[in-house]
Structure 1
């Protein structure tokens, strides 16, 4: 008969060996865990340092645009960076940024050190890293077109809110005392639409017809001629209906007829300008009435900044070429309603026409921002479609939010971009 022999000393030896092996394994485990923790902190600190120096250099370059000296710009960058870096979640020590400035760019570099936590067990007391960044003017020159809905639903508080928001946006876009040679870097055009569009001084060039019209009619056994004056227009027909082709034979804009000659209101287009006062005057004079032919707003907003229309406008207001170096074009659409009126229904409804125009404008390189101010779902849908992306679409529900939207758009247009 066989049986197992129990050896107490064998168990003691085995337990001791296991304890030793476990103890030996603790060091690499702790070392790996320590590096993991410290590298996570390092990643967080690098991100914090990069965003801080980015923000500081943007602040410095904005100050430079506004006329600050190079010494003042350098101090601005360092002050901003020091304030921002001190608010990080983990201790971090960085040198004052070295700042290099030229005519359009501000560059900055800094070296940072952070104390380790658990990596000290491997005699690694600190991690060091460098961060750098640079800004340049995001756009050297820009043509901006504001498109305002002045239909009847905008009357009262809504148009009052619009006037405040639009004026604030002008102040943000146009530097009060630009540097010599940069006075026309940003130019702004404004158009307003309701049930039709008032082409104003550009009526004859756009339609190929005089604004003084007449119509013959037969009444009570006799023929009469009725004379009237109108600068109201509707959409273009034919193959160029949804392009920015210059007006001309076969591609003129359709003029309003005797029955709808007053549907467009009083707001005539304001050609591109870098002067604040005519823009202020335009905004102040806005009134609300009529329906909402939103596609006309899109079309004329585009025409005002299209180089194809340069011959229509005064030489000083001629839009930049699409391929102008270091330039951009922006269209800012606004409505509080649904697009519900057309001049020629054979072109499709107003929403459909607006979308076709927006597609073509974006294809030409125009950045489209859109503001659906207390608009119904149909109005929101078409403006969201027209915008150049979700970050370019705004749907404010009150006056303050409208101001915030226009401020955000103005800042985006005049903002700087990180280049390094």
Structure 2
């Protein structure tokens, strides 16, 4: 049996000499220390080599999967994988010796499995009889054609107007669309893209009636009735029964002074204002609240999306009501926090979501029409990115845009979130802030029952952004893994990031 440590010499004379015991111990210990050091160095080198072999085998098996997709036989694919891997193994050097890659095929799941055994020569460990270290590596890819649903989420808050960010985003997004849907690719429905853009609200577009609750109300009859209805229905699309028009509640004043002004004596009556008579948009929505807030449940009872109605503070002081009243009746009701009136959530971007499609013209038209303004309700963008690829929402979207079932064989789903800063706006009825809501939604998307890949892109994000308790930004938290989180400081970097993500997503159709 090989002995790990041997004394340098028997040193017989030292046995009777003073200090001989120390010398004998030293003679035994030093070789042991040297041997252990040698083993540690050789193990470290072997671990590095194994990591390189893993990367090489992954590439070889993926190349084989691509060949299999192209129609190569099993024998041709096996030879390709072995040849490809051998070239990469040889390039590693360091005396690495690997057997030919063993390749097997699963015709049911359309998988290709590659395994290899390698031997790495040792250097210092060979002095004690260990001439080499062995290790095994395996890699699996699928060569099925596959299907891919991808949702892009774009931050179009006001800060995107700074430093030409919006224009650079448009260029990068168009490049990503071209990468995923090249002109040479057959339009067979296997790759579909969707887009949601957000600021402090989100435009639901043509789907507003399907995702929000609608209530038709007769004349109020009294201020108390109007207040009760405001409290009960301001989360819904309220329709005036007589006119058929959508409205919101506010108060108008009647002056009891001889010289009327802001600080005069006023009495207040609750009135209805039609959206058609303002600068508000009819299709704006805010986040879902309640038990379904962090899920992808289809809109319906207990799960409606919030309709973007202005809010009115009925208990504000008279001067605040005066300011709000003037904004509603004389300034198109578009004020953000003007006295008793808050119209922010009745405003949103002009473009609604783009459901899953392979029509590049539709996708690029949406991108090129983006404008930036307002705050950043990042959780709202995340939610709608999820809805666009969720099979739970199949009845909402057009038939050709119905998302694929979760975990259907040979399918992949991905969401790409882009922002340039903090998530800083949530609806007043929400119980959690935008950051916490975003965490909850990302947790739901990444659950094993759904397996949605989340990629995140930070564009010129400041270091002062909010972080989780363990120091991660929301982009780092939401990303499926650290390798799914990207950052860019320039337009050129942003283009390359989106292209890199697009290539990675394409690989998802090949690799599990």
Q: Is the pair's TM-score, using the shorter chain for normalization, greater than 0.5? A: yes
Distance 1:54 1:141 in 2: 21
Aligned ranges 1:38-187 → 2 under 5 Å: 48-65=52-69, 67=70, 69-70=72-73, 77-78=81-82, 80-92=84-96, 104-108=110-114, 133-136=139-142, 140-155=146-161, 157-174=164-181, 183-187=188-192
User: Is the Cα–Cα contact under 8 Å of residues 306 and 320 in structure 1 kept in the other structure?
Assistant: yes
**1:215 paired to 2:222:** no
User: Is the Cα–Cα contact under 8 Å of residues 193 and 294 in structure 1 kept in the other structure?
Assistant: yes
* Cα displacement (A) at 1:348: 3.5
* Cα displacement (A) at 1:173: 3.5
* Cα displacement (A) at 1:313: 0.8
Q: Compute the TM-score of the two structures, normalised by the length of structure 1.
A: 0.74
Give secondary structure in 2 for the equivalent of 1:311: coil
Distance 1:51 1:116 in 2: 22
Structure having the higher helix fraction is 1
Once structures 1 and 2 are overlaid, which stretch shifts more, 225-234 or 215-224?
215-224
Distance 2:137 2:475 in 1: 40
Structure 1 counterpart of 2:205, from 195, 200, 214? 200
Q: Compute the TM-score of the two structures, normalised by the length of structure 2.
A: 0.62
Once structures 1 and 2 are overlaid, which stretch shifts more, 321-330 or 151-160?
321-330
* CA shift digits 1:359-414 (9 cap, x unpaired): 33334633332222112333663333333343332332222332343334334433
Give the 3 Å change call, closer, same or farther, for CA 176–129 of structure 1 in structure 2. Answer: farther
* Cα displacement (A) at 1:51: 3.6
Aligned partner of 2:403 in structure 1 is 319
**1:288 paired to 2:372:** yes
Aligned partner of 2:446 in structure 1 is 362
Once structures 1 and 2 are overlaid, which stretch shifts more, 70-79 or 273-282?
70-79
User: Is the Cα–Cα contact under 8 Å of residues 42 and 124 in structure 2 kept in the other structure?
Assistant: no
Give the 3 Å change call, closer, same or farther, for CA 132–370 of structure 1 in structure 2. Answer: closer
Once structures 1 and 2 are overlaid, which stretch shifts more, 189-198 or 105-114?
105-114
Aligned partner of 1:278 in structure 2 is 362
Once structures 1 and 2 are overlaid, which stretch shifts more, 54-63 or 194-203?
54-63
Q: Give the count of matched residue pairs.
A: 398
Aligned partner of 1:240 in structure 2 is 292
Unaligned 5+ segments in structure 1 are: 1-13, 16-24
Aligned partner of 2:394 in structure 1 is 310
Give the 3 Å change call, closer, same or farther, for CA 402–214 of structure 1 in structure 2. Answer: same
* Cα displacement (A) at 1:57: 1.8
* CA shift digits 1:83-141 (9 cap, x unpaired): 32232232356676576667733445667788888999999999999866442259944
User: Is the Cα–Cα contact under 8 Å of residues 289 and 429 in structure 2 kept in the other structure?
Assistant: no
* Cα displacement (A) at 1:191: 0.2
Unaligned 5+ segments in structure 2 are: 1-11, 14-27, 215-236, 256-268, 311-332, 334-342, 468-472
* Cα displacement (A) at 1:151: 1.1
User: Is the Cα–Cα contact under 8 Å of residues 394 and 402 in structure 2 kept in the other structure?
Assistant: yes
Give secondary structure in 2 for the equivalent of 1:87: helix
Give the 3 Å change call, closer, same or farther, for CA 112–291 of structure 1 in structure 2. Answer: closer
Give secondary structure in 1 for the equivalent of 2:389: coil
